[in-house]
Amino acid sequence: MGLDPDRTAKTSGRDLRISPKAAREVCTKIRNMSLDKARIFLQEVIDKRKAVPYRHHKKKVGHKTGIEGFYAGRYPVKTAQEIMKVLDNAEANAEFKGLDIDRLKIVHIAAQRSRKIKGYVPRAFGRATPSHNTLCHIEMIVEEMK
């Protein structure tokens, strides 16, 4: 990616119990934001004051007001809380490296599907329905801007 290791800090959250679809949309929204703006946006999502635009997984997603440039959106509270923890971890890593916290910007954030936790729900007449929970990886790189 061509990032300077003296001005960047990396962090990741592994096997988080959040939806990869919601994580992808939140990551797309907060990419290229400063850490303060991203934290404010995530807190507004947690408080259900600002919706996250759903650009890819938008079938049967209701329209929300206040989304700039798009119509479909949701309030993925659990995803926002987990990404907030990864954001705090990135800030701590940057502070440990001696970077200026006020000038940090998210240059890379991505969500990938992780393993599935397999489970089965017992049904009537001795049958069972599979219920699999897909976990998610989040990786983030913050860079100190000049």
Token readout for 142 is: 């913050």
Under 8 Å between Cβ of 104 and 145: yes
Under 8 Å between Cβ of 53 and 25: yes
Rounded Cα gap, residues 6 and 50, in angstroms = 35
Which domains does the chain show, CATH number per domain? 8-144 (3.90.470.10)
| pLDDT level of residue 1 (50, 70, 90 thresholds) | low
Q: What is the mean pLDDT of residues 65-79?
A: 91
Q: How many C-beta atoms surround the C-beta of residue 99 within 10 A?
A: 19
pLDDT of 68 above 90: no
Q: How far is CA 69 from the centre of its chain?
A: 20
The pTM of this model reads 0.91
The closest of 31, 85, 28 to 53, measured between CA atoms, is: 28
Q: What is the pLDDT of residue 22?
A: 96
Token readout for 134 is: 């897909």
The closest of 11, 4, 1 to 144, measured between CA atoms, is: 4
pLDDT tens digits for 93-144? 999 999 999 999 999 999 999 999 999 999 999 999 999 999 999 999 999 9
| Residues ≥6 apart with Cβ < 8 Å to 134 | 19, 20, 113, 114, 116
Q: What is the pLDDT of residue 101?
A: 94
Chain position carrying tokens 């998610």: 136
